[in-house]
Structure 1
């Protein structure tokens, strides 16, 4: 009989659990959080590069950034009924090709893909449904959202999104040392890299190019407070 996998959790403190199945399979069945005995208080668990990443619920400033981005998409839809994009928050995304499972802060889909997902009542979206994903960094796990750096060379969502071919990745980095927004484009699934990027400092309007053609003000966006 094969032994249950014993895995570590990356969080504020590291502990060990024996799981009845692989983390990815448990995540796909919505059983991973319970298997890890996580509280039902907004705590999220994602699988990034095969590692389980546990994150507490975000702060208000984080959520306000997402609200600001949503508002621009909603306003465009109300102004122009033919606007072809819809957005949704905290939607599970299954990266089956690499056995990862993410919960982006915001997903942007075409009207057609949005309708298909609603009709099928999908619980976990495939990456091919997405045109743009948005991640907003938090103090405890910002490195998992960013392009890998020398200090944290491990697998990150930046790699994962590129490997599955998500066309646009918008990263809002609230670190006081960064305080900028970067749009990554032209994913290369083979290398797991985005080939192009453009960025804006907080206070500068984010200008999403075609096919979105949206301008997002960032005047009210605030970096997180250093402890």
Structure 2
């Protein structure tokens, strides 16, 4: 992963980083292959991340399939998952690439019909992030008070739920954060599970089997 900022690695942009991200111009400006790298604006920095590992995809597929199976079993199940869709946090001038977003199926259908480039925060009920060796610190609660991360950004934007699957072999853990405090940029409540446990998402009326989930390999 490389991080580009005006302080660390000067890059002269023709517009603000968020505006260029919003218009889908940053990939081309930075000369990045679209299929191999994601570009996000986190804490005012341009963050470029490589494609994730295969074990990362297993976790995402497990969560996605749980929501898909619920909709197959009950066509009235109200929730659906959006993979491969960016999230524009216009309230704080940032742009993220969540691993998954959970939203009302009707809302996702409209976004797909309109072929939107990204979702907005008021569309989303829960974001899902799975850590990778190159960018885990961007997904977690910051070690230093006041430091920015996606954890603080999601809270500031008042995303109701944040499901973080941390695959770090030093302490693999699944955490559901809730009760965002936008002023503090923090979530006030959390529930945790070990890998192999059944994750219960009471708000969504869903359980997720995490058998087979594993930490990343060094």
Residue by residue over 1:201-227, the C-alpha shift from the partner in whole angstroms, topping out at 9 and shown as x without a partner, is 1111111112x111111120010012x
Q: Is 1:56 the equivalent of 2:39?
A: no
Query: Aligned to 1:175, which of 168, 181, 184?
Result: 168
Question: Paired residues, what number?
Answer: 215
Written as runs of structure 1 = structure 2, the 5 A alignment for 1:22-171 is 22-150=16-144, 154-171=147-164
1:4 maps to which residue? none
Is residue 84–residue 99 contact of structure 2 (8 Å, CA) maintained in 1?
Answer: yes
Residue by residue over 1:128-162, the C-alpha shift from the partner in whole angstroms, topping out at 9 and shown as x without a partner, is 00011100000011001001113x96200111111
Distance in 2 (CA, whole Å) between partners of 1:90 and 1:181 is: 21
Cα distance change of structure 1 residues 153 and 164 upon mapping to structure 2, 3 Å threshold: closer
Q: CA deviation at 1:31?
A: 0.6
Residue by residue over 1:25-47, the C-alpha shift from the partner in whole angstroms, topping out at 9 and shown as x without a partner, is 11011111111122334201100
Is residue 17–residue 36 contact of structure 1 (8 Å, CA) maintained in 2?
Answer: no
Q: CA deviation at 1:117?
A: 1.7
Query: Aligned to 1:216, which of 182, 185, 208?
Result: 208
TM-score by length of 1: 0.90
Distance in 2 (CA, whole Å) between partners of 1:193 and 1:208 is: 20
Is residue 4–residue 10 contact of structure 2 (8 Å, CA) maintained in 1?
Answer: no
Query: Aligned to 1:196, which of 171, 189, 193?
Result: 189
Is residue 82–residue 108 contact of structure 2 (8 Å, CA) maintained in 1?
Answer: no
Q: Provide the alpha-carbon RMSD of the alignment.
A: 1.7
1:5 maps to which residue? none
TM-score by length of 2: 0.93
In structure 2, the gaps of 5 or more residues are none
Distance in 2 (CA, whole Å) between partners of 1:156 and 1:220 is: 28
Is residue 92–residue 104 contact of structure 1 (8 Å, CA) maintained in 2?
Answer: yes
Distance in 1 (CA, whole Å) between partners of 2:18 and 2:125 is: 24
